[in-house]
Amino acid sequence: MNDTISAIATPHGRGGIGIIRLSGPQAASIALKLCQRDKPFTPRFAHFHHWYDDQGETIDHGLTIYFAGSNAYTGEDTVELQAHGSPMLLKALFERTLMLGCRAAEPGEFTRRAVEHGKIDLSQAEAVVACIDAATLRAAKQAQKQLDGTFGRRISQYMDDLTSVVAHVEACLDFPEDEVPELFYGQLRQRVESELITPIQQQLNSKLGERLFEGATVAIIGEPNVGKSSLLNALSGRDRAIVTDIAGTTRDTLEVDFEVHGIPIRLTDTAGLRQTDDIVEQEGVRRAKQTAETADLVIFIADASRPETWTPETHFENLHIHLKVMNKVDKTKTLDAKDFLPISIKQNQGLETLIEVMATQLGDTDLTDESALVTSSRHRAALEVSLAHIVAGLDMLGREEMIDLTAMEWRRAWSTLGEILGIGDVEFILDKVFSEFCIGK
């Protein structure tokens, strides 16, 4: 933390602009030496300078911008050098900052310093990476919400609620059980259930947040010539799979990437499911079954004019089929196929409905508050552990011999939630007890 660090902040390669970032107590003085300037920089003002090597020769020229202390991204003095985007010039400029006293920054060290100086919490730091890696616009917008602190504020509210209920429980430790009315415990239970258990459970029930960033796999399965390859082409908008009337055309899995309501999808076309003596096709069928067993969403497609293709149980015993689709409904006047979504790929009928159903199956619902979305497995694990502690404490609430254990479980829940934000201090709860209660009362 006492080092001044430096790094090239723009991607490797040629471009119009390349940026060198310095952060630390000596950032300004090192930049002044680099510019051969005596007068201090004006904070948040773009200074035009030449930057010089140890021989006094110009390395490059551009803009030098100084951010002072707490007004900087990292929470400490920061300087950005906006140079030409030449890899060789940037390398020379970077190496010059090292000669003047900088240390090469480690991966993520600028953002880590922002966390350590209290500029952002840990969930916001993770959102920085999410913004960069977002594969769809919706994912990027969700990352921005987390970066703005909306998710962190929700977690902070849970922690505040836990602090308050623990304070109430701690106050009961000094009183015999018969002096604490049951109504008090009833109100506390209701508060814990409504303010903590229910909203946390609602967050955990949705996997939309994670799927926006991690994506989802969708497998199309069915017998030969029912329209699997045609469906892949229609959904992706590309002529990716070969479509013929010859059974067994697709002998291997074929993947294509696209998105449904902002959710990145890897759609897989599989070999037709049937008994065959062809060794290559047998391997294709095996891979089709393997793909279906590991997919997040399985679409079984059948041919409306061929009832023998309507039963996935012929090929699978325990596979969960998420969505059943009946293709070629334009070829029959009467159709009695329950639980199937009717479509005609050839006539472009029902595909929009299919996409909507897919989105729903993947967790896209009419959420009124997407700031509550869980976007990483780390956050999910912490919320699950915290919820378990909250429920365990609630089960013991009201029993005199268990009241201290109730407080302990809820303190553990608080600490676990704090891990999401990168904080944790049990002493804070004790401070809250003395600030809100007169223990002698």
SS in 3 state form for the chain?
CCCCEEEECCCCCCEEEEEEEEECCCHHHHHHHHHCCCCCCCCCCEEEEEEECCCCCEEEEEEEEEECHHHCCCCCCEEEEEEEECHHHHHHHHHHHHHCCCEECCCCHHHHHHHHCCCCCHHHHHHHHHHHHCCCHHHHHHHHHHHCCHHHHHHHHHHHHHHHHHHHHHHHCCCCHHHCCHHHHHHHHHHHHHHHHHHHHHHHHCCHHHHHHHCEEEEEECCCCCCHHHHHHHHHCCCCCCCCCCCCCCCCCEEEEEEECCEEEEEEECCCCCCCCCHHHHHHHHHHHHHHHHCCEEEEEEECCCHHHCCHHHCCCCCCCCEEEEECHHHCCCCCCCCCEECECCCCECHHHHHHHHHHHCCCCCCCCHHHCCCCHHHHHHHHHHHHHHHHHHHHCCCHHHHHHHHHHHHHHHHHHHHHHCCCCCHHHHHHHHHHCCCCC
**CA–CA separation, 291 and 253 (whole Å):** 8
Centre a 10 Å sphere on the Cβ of residue 12 and count the other Cβ atoms it contains: 10
Q: Are 211 and 189 in contact (CB under 8 A)?
A: no
406: left (phi over 0), alpha (psi -120 to 50) or beta: alpha
Q: Which residues pair with 267 in a beta bridge?
A: 218, 256
Centre a 10 Å sphere on the Cβ of residue 63 and count the other Cβ atoms it contains: 15
**Residue 330's Cα: distance from chain center in Å?**
41
**CA–CA separation, 151 and 427 (whole Å):** 24
**CA–CA separation, 424 and 420 (whole Å):** 10
Q: Which residues contact 214 (CB under 8 A, 6 or more apart)?
A: none
> pLDDT digit of tens for each residue in the chain (441 aa)?
789 999 998 888 888 899 999 999 999 999 999 999 989 999 999 999 999 999 999 999 999 999 998 889 889 999 999 999 999 999 999 999 999 999 998 888 888 888 888 888 888 888 877 887 788 888 888 888 888 888 888 999 999 999 988 888 877 666 655 565 666 778 888 999 999 999 999 889 888 888 888 888 998 888 888 888 888 888 877 665 444 454 444 445 678 888 888 888 888 888 776 666 666 666 777 787 788 888 888 888 888 888 888 887 777 777 788 888 888 888 776 666 678 888 888 888 888 998 899 888 888 765 556 667 888 888 898 899 999 999 998 888 767 667 788 888 999 999 899 888 877 553 443 343 333 332 322
CATH superfamily, region 133-206+372-436:
tRNA modification GTPase MnmE domain 2 (1.20.120.430)
Q: Which residues contact 103 (CB under 8 A, 6 or more apart)?
A: 3, 4, 5, 6
Q: Which residues contact 248 (CB under 8 A, 6 or more apart)?
A: 224, 271, 272, 274, 276, 278, 281
- Domain ranges within the chain, ordered by starting residue: 5-116, 133-206+372-436, 213-361
Amino acid present at 415: S
Tokens found for residue 240? 């990716």
Amino acid present at 132: I
**Residue 42's Cα: distance from chain center in Å?**
38
**What's the pLDDT score for residue 243?**
46
**CA–CA separation, 154 and 9 (whole Å):** 31
Fold observed for domain 213-361 = Rossmann fold (3.40.50)
**CA–CA separation, 306 and 285 (whole Å):** 20
**CA–CA separation, 43 and 78 (whole Å):** 10
Q: Are 194 and 243 in contact (CB under 8 A)?
A: no
Residue 429 burial by Cβ neighbours in a 10 Å radius (0-12, 13-18, 19+): buried
Fold observed for domain 5-116 = Gyrase A; domain 2 (3.30.1360)
**What's the pLDDT score for residue 173?**
67
**What's the pLDDT score for residue 162?**
92
Distances in whole angstroms, Cα of residue 357 to Cα of each of 310, 354, 437: 19, 5, 53
**What's the pLDDT score for residue 275?**
65
